[in-house]
Structure 1
């Protein structure tokens, strides 16, 4: 689920609950229980409210007349991050999470695009800003670990939250967070105080958040996952948060024990990194109750529960808040879940908008009618999508707002592929650009990845399309191998042959082996980079020239002898000649 974060279905606040984040910040005043834990110590909930109020007052004086009330935050997960989130809420301002893995003009573009009036950063990130033409003047670039910053904040200390004269409403912008799209400039999704507060309230109920819980935030706070699924429910449920500057697999359990963490969020590869750490006899000796996130996969979720004694709850929600699915106790392991009863989610043909037939699965879980059942997930009813900042074209494209009179205009189009089984459960099948078409058969990358996740020598797998020299696509997989493991082609063929749900076209034609999968700044597998490299990469590639099909299958696919061999320079030259002969070489650059 690239470019997704976890949100809730309708994001409606609980009856009588606070409808803004500002109200939740004010409610912390006088509460002397732990609020923010980190390597720098512990702030009580009262202290976090006081710190937010001081920074809100400072921001009010720094904000130029007529400027957008936007605060760029270029920080790791340090206590100043939630303090400035609280300050923005009280001041009726929006935090633009600035990604520290961006560089040069792209970083400057993100700051300029979100109209940041003030930029909050730290010494470690100052080299990123050196030499850039910033739209924020130097006097409004605040460095939180510089003595000058402490002197700047000190006069405002003692400000009470109720002394901030701004009165935010549920419609006040709260977050501008960049989606993790891999092509084109990132889009800044808008999240209002009402939506964020509602998501917090909803997750309190869904996850059973308690006042003595501690939410461990190890995913980057510039991304929506950590704020929406970690910070907001802790704020709404009266729980504390514990901060890890940056995710560390080796520090995970020590942190969890040190802070008494009961809950954590994850995205992308975090679970696989944790499973790749050396097992210890006391792995299950931890206070965690659950983890909540996306892309762990059924196999890794089961391994995680067995090793650490912690249940992972897989969810689905678009970063922009347009659609969400929730698990229930009867959700099959490989499914995501169902929408809320009053949400109108469907799997449709992306060209016509027609709802597609339900998926048929055999006894082994193999999808029998992928050609008919896989389509794009849409929300045909009311959604929480609030648009992209200063990007009307992208906003219109998400809702097909320029297709008046046509089916699908006004719906929320997720950009994700799904299929829906006969019991109504939705199954993730990849991004719309992750669809493969092999020998006229549509395949879902996510389903193949779920199968390859069972391969013991690998810590992770990514599946993507490479163009066939003649027509359609071929399947390519990149496997991240465990320390000390080597790729054994015969062992891999035997593994594939033993998988009952491996379809006849699913076996990879190309297998690339790496030490680690490339990831985006938010920890998700960077499939676009893998797809662009294809078989033209530095790492070892194994292939079967005729394609494997399903090992042991009858027909042309079986004639390759069901074996892999190293992909050589001669193989590459011959294959590229085939692309040129069929005028398809340009497809390798897509």
Structure 2
């Protein structure tokens, strides 16, 4: 890269950082300008704009605000007050946003419950929130009916359109649509609790992350500047509204600017381009696997006829990234890294393929609150020196990303509604006695130009033959091969061996050449990283936000008595994969067969 190109790149990066600061610089734990104040200001300026386009119905900002006001005034009639909590268990629809927005007007905390949960998981999320009421929609009747006896406090259920619970629509029929007095939230500050947003539960029961008003504001404003969103944009949103990426960052792009949300109940790869094009979408919100699903679809006549100019999301893998932009002719995507509860986040402003963000040299002081430290895969703990302190990684060396915990909005860690879960995420005495840092649980690396790359989740990376194996690297290699649609990689214990053997659960979209599979992988991966076992699933096991589930797969391993899916095993003498039979399972378990 020549000198002029470097100057241009740095100038663009500087302007992007300045634009972002314009949107997020006034957020403070001590501020009394809260989320509902921001949204009400947008309504006052853009009341006639369309806020939501949903299943053939248009909702203006004035109508959206009136709906939220009715919900707030109804809640006041029920005796709810600032600091109380309600659980929102509803499918994607404009009322979802109107409900939590309305509650925020009177200081009531809303717990955003994953609409796919049922039974013990649903009860757990509602119970730990201490919700006074549960508000549901049209699709939750059966789940509520079967799970209600598990709710410890037995909160009353109110429904908007369902049959299980009291009729909230009828109860609001005579309720005022005027804004409730701001006095109901007058005692609140940015540091006070606004929402509970739950972790996805890929490794156990979900945890309730505490989102303050200030943190919620930050999430809602974060992608306005990077995507250059104005009140004229239409943002196509197919992700679940209970999740931070879609429900706060995506919604925030609109309700903080006056733009319009094209909202879909659920993501559909087959309907994506028809709806995005016909509704005039200019921006999208994605999760990496969503992009992969679209690439796996056959060519669509409208896949390049759209007006989409930008979008944001996370988890877009390098092997998908460039192909996605080229095939669908989308000029710009803003990949980011972050978690709902954490204090470490990055934005990829300039579109460097594979990077989740960048810390250029001239910004290192401003990012002193973020560190990458050497990490021991076997102990799953950071490496410490003779003095007991952590050691910063070298250029291009993978290490755990940490965030310094402080009182600034950018540095705060509010934790979970579970003290023990909160403590597990805090690392002490990192670089000096008494300091505290948030553990992201992610391995990342930074190159010589400051670009940051996600490597793997801690616990996903495993050791085999004395080497560290990155599940992401193996997954990318597998997914790039003909016939393999998705690849979920994990390590499984193998009798008589240290470490864990690689296993991949794949789905297919064509014929897979298993005889030539090892050779193809050998050209992409070091020998120790090539999976020993390949499990073929009809559908990938994912959460509602398309994250791969691994806990159950690891528990089942390669036990042919438990797994009904076909399994293939690498045969070291043949240098190819062979069907994994009961005989081979018994031979492996007895130690007669060796790798």
TM-score for the superposition, normalised by structure 2 = 0.84
C-alpha distance 503-243 of structure 1, shift in aligned 2 (>3 A): same
Q: CA deviation at 1:14?
A: 3.8
- What's the counterpart of residue 169 of structure 2? 150
The partner residue of 2:344 within 310, 314, 323 is 323
The partner residue of 2:394 within 355, 358, 370 is 358
Map 1:184-583 to 2 at 5 A. Answer: 184-310=204-330, 311-329=332-350, 331=352, 333-339=353-359, 341=364, 342-344=366-368, 345-348=370-373, 349=375, 350-351=381-382, 352=384, 354-360=390-396, 373-380=397-404, 382=406, 383-400=410-427, 409-469=435-495, 470-482=497-509, 485-499=510-524, 502-536=525-559, 537-546=563-572, 560-578=573-591
Question: Which whole-Å CA distance do the structure 2 matches of 1:236 and 1:59 have between them?
Answer: 24
Q: CA deviation at 1:334?
A: 2.6
C-alpha distance 356-439 of structure 1, shift in aligned 2 (>3 A): farther
Q: CA deviation at 1:137?
A: 5.2
SS in 2 for 1:155: coil
- What's the counterpart of residue 60 of structure 1? 76
C-alpha RMSD of matched pairs (Å):
2.9
Mapped pair 1:41 → 2:61: no
SS in 1 for 2:565: coil
SS in 2 for 1:209: coil
Contact 2:231-2:258 at 8 Å conserved across structures: yes
Contact 2:107-2:184 at 8 Å conserved across structures: no
Contact 2:106-2:180 at 8 Å conserved across structures: no
TM-score for the superposition, normalised by structure 1 = 0.85
C-alpha distance 208-136 of structure 1, shift in aligned 2 (>3 A): farther
Structure 1, unmatched stretches of 5+, are: 1-7, 361-372, 547-559, 582-590
Question: Which whole-Å CA distance do the structure 2 matches of 1:77 and 1:336 have between them?
Answer: 28
- What's the counterpart of residue 14 of structure 2? none
Question: Which whole-Å CA distance do the structure 2 matches of 1:392 and 1:356 have between them?
Answer: 29
Question: Which whole-Å CA distance do the structure 1 matches of 2:152 and 2:73 have between them?
Answer: 22
C-alpha distance 295-192 of structure 1, shift in aligned 2 (>3 A): same
Question: Which whole-Å CA distance do the structure 2 matches of 1:185 and 1:11 have between them?
Answer: 36
Q: CA deviation at 1:291?
A: 2.8
SS in 1 for 2:189: coil
Question: Which whole-Å CA distance do the structure 2 matches of 1:288 and 1:194 have between them?
Answer: 30
SS in 2 for 1:32: coil
C-alpha distance 355-282 of structure 1, shift in aligned 2 (>3 A): same
SS in 2 for 1:154: coil
SS in 2 for 1:434: coil
Question: Which whole-Å CA distance do the structure 1 matches of 2:49 and 2:351 have between them?
Answer: 37
Q: CA deviation at 1:83?
A: 0.6
C-alpha distance 123-235 of structure 1, shift in aligned 2 (>3 A): closer
Contact 2:134-2:156 at 8 Å conserved across structures: no
Question: Which whole-Å CA distance do the structure 2 matches of 1:121 and 1:215 have between them?
Answer: 25
Q: CA deviation at 1:531?
A: 2.1
Relative contact order (C-alpha < 8 Å, sep 6+): which is higher? 1
SS in 2 for 1:260: coil
Contact 2:68-2:101 at 8 Å conserved across structures: yes
Q: CA deviation at 1:145?
A: 5.0
C-alpha distance 408-100 of structure 1, shift in aligned 2 (>3 A): farther
Question: Which whole-Å CA distance do the structure 2 matches of 1:253 and 1:354 have between them?
Answer: 48
SS in 1 for 2:292: helix
Q: CA deviation at 1:385?
A: 4.2
Q: CA deviation at 1:543?
A: 1.6
Q: CA deviation at 1:108?
A: 1.6
C-alpha distance 405-288 of structure 1, shift in aligned 2 (>3 A): closer
SS in 2 for 1:321: coil
1:269-295 Cα deviation digits (max 9, x unpaired):
222222222212431111222232122
C-alpha distance 417-75 of structure 1, shift in aligned 2 (>3 A): same
Question: Which whole-Å CA distance do the structure 2 matches of 1:445 and 1:98 have between them?
Answer: 29
Number of equivalences: 542
